Amino acid sequence: MLSKKTKYGLKALTYLASQSKREPVQISQIARHENISQKFLETILLTLRKTGFLGSKKGKGGGYYLIKEPSEILMTTVIRVLEGPIAMVPCVSLNFYEKCDDCPDENKCAVHKLMLQVRDSVLEVYRNNTLADLISE
């Protein structure tokens, strides 16, 4: 299940990407428009700034803005930053692999085989969608 952090992060990114100008937008405006707690949104936007999706400006006329084109922001990257590993179990993770303690042989594990398919299907969707795709629909 997608966490609220990730859901709200995607909503905030799409809101920023849908702005006609790339000027800073105040947190309060995003929070109000997307119905997100301002305090929670602050932490999410800070994470997105630290990981290179957003820039920020302090003071009058300040706020957050995209520093990349929406077409350059892949959903795989956004999901990994906000949610963590895409795989549902660590034994099929591409970037965060860990062997399961309770599994003697991954190659014979039915759960492993199923989760590989799930991971590959999810990755296919994320890899084929950018922030631009989310705002164009």
* Residue pLDDT, tens place only, 69-84: 999 999 999 999 999 9
Mean pLDDT of the chain: 93
**Digit-coded pLDDT (tens) for 112-125:** 999 999 999 999 99
**Digit-coded pLDDT (tens) for 26-64:** 999 999 999 999 999 999 999 999 999 999 999 888 899
- For 100, the 3-state DSSP assignment is coil
Boundaries of every domain in the chain: 4-66, 73-130
* Partners of residue 116 on adjacent β-strands: none
Q: Is the Cα dihedral 119, 125, 130, 132 positive or negative?
A: negative
> Residue 4 corresponds to which tokens in the numbers above?
């609220």
What's the CA dihedral at 82, 42, 49, 28 to 10 degrees? Answer: 120
pTM: 0.89
Q: Taking the domain 4-66, which CATH number applies?
A: 1.10.10.10
Contact 93/85 with Cβ under 8 angstroms? Answer: yes
Q: Return the pLDDT at 22.
A: 82
